[in-house]
Amino acid sequence: MIWEQLLSFEDIKKDSYYAQHILWDIDPVKVMEPVMKQEGTKILCKDRIKGYVFYIETSGKKPELFLMMHKSNCFGETIAKVDEIPIDLLTEALEENKDKIKFGMCPINEKIKIWLKKELGLL
């Protein structure tokens, strides 16, 4: 782990670099896919993903929102936790995306995107 402790949402809001490099349409499961896979006799490489991805962690006692940094060398690490988000938004996203949960990670939904964009000053 590079980061000794997670950043807060306030830390993320203070530095516009994060907001400018959020990958709003990347599902966290896409980030976790193998770099290469075989289809028949072909070996396919996935596109490089570089930026920040929000996801809901589902393996704890309650759902929590995190921000993952992903580099083009396929290294990813959770760097921030968003405690400020209303729990009902997380619960609704879990219900909406229950069939998309993999590795304890759930993608965010449109309501959470809107909430985050407002908080980050993008709307």
Q: Does 1 score more than 60 pLDDT? A: no
Q: Does 5 score more than 70 pLDDT? A: yes
**119 close to 84: Cβ distance less than 8 angstroms:** yes
Kindly report the backbone phi and psi dihedral angles of residue 114, in degrees, each rounded to the nearest multiple of 5, phi listed first.
-65, -45
44 class by beta-carbon count within 10 Å (0-12 exposed, 13-18 middle, 19+ buried): exposed
How many other CB atoms are there within 10 angstroms of residue 70's CB atom? 22
In tens, the pLDDT along 11-56 reads 999 999 999 999 998 887 776 666 666 788 887 766 677 889 999 9
Q: Which of 58, 46, 49 is nearest to 25 (CA)?
A: 49
In tens, the pLDDT along 44-94 reads 766 677 889 999 999 888 999 999 988 766 667 889 999 999 999 999 999
- Residue 77 CA, distance from chain mean position: 10
Q: What is the pLDDT of residue 103?
A: 86
Q: What average pLDDT does this structure show over 109-120? A: 96
